[in-house]
Amino acid sequence: MSDELAVQQVLAHYVRAHDQRDGAAMAALFKPQARVTIFYNNNPDGKPEMIGELTGREAIAHATAHMMKPHPPRGWSHNATDGLLVDIDGDRATVDAQFMVFSILGAAKPASGWPAGAAGAMGTITPIESGYYHQKLVRVDGQWLIESLQVRHNLPFAF
């Protein structure tokens, strides 16, 4: 596998761990003393506002499993990334990506079944977050790990 694909897959595993609220899977993507900084990107004064910081795998795992709202019954989230910019220099890499998070809520199937004529997916998909991820990765024993992650939200964010 090429290095470019390998570092892209780290981001793919990141968004899946995010969607599943899987702290252990998330922590495995980071170096032990990795740092995550979270910013609000669109302040009126033009300067990004730092809204949170996590240091170390344990803090990152805990935040993933406990600081995000749990999914409601029939609910899920989908963290979609696009516009990846990858730069690799030996055993170091950066990945910049745009993201959009969608809240997905399946409709409850009526006890009598779906109404006549109903077809297709039943429920709603709502965009709830957008912004940019900037990952700095390092290759350790052949595995790419996140050394730092900056999350820049386009909407105000409570942390």
pLDDT per residue as tens digits for the range 17-56: 999 999 999 999 999 999 999 999 877 787 888 999 999 9
Whether 149 is covered by a domain: the verdict is yes
User: What distance in Å separates the CA atoms of residue 131 and residue 142, rounded to the nearest whole number?
Assistant: 30
Whether 159 is covered by a domain: the verdict is no
Residue 11 has pLDDT above 90, yes or no: yes
Contact by Cβ (8 Å): 23, 67: no
User: What distance in Å separates the CA atoms of residue 22 and residue 154, rounded to the nearest whole number?
Assistant: 24
* Domains held by the chain: number: 1
- What CATH number corresponds to the domain at position 115? 3.10.450.50
Whether 81 is covered by a domain: the verdict is yes
Domain span at residue 60? Answer: 3-153
Whether 133 is covered by a domain: the verdict is yes
Decide: pTM greater than 0.95.
Answer: no
Whether 158 is covered by a domain: the verdict is no
pLDDT per residue as tens digits for the range 72-125: 999 999 999 999 999 999 999 999 999 999 999 999 999 999 999 988 899 999
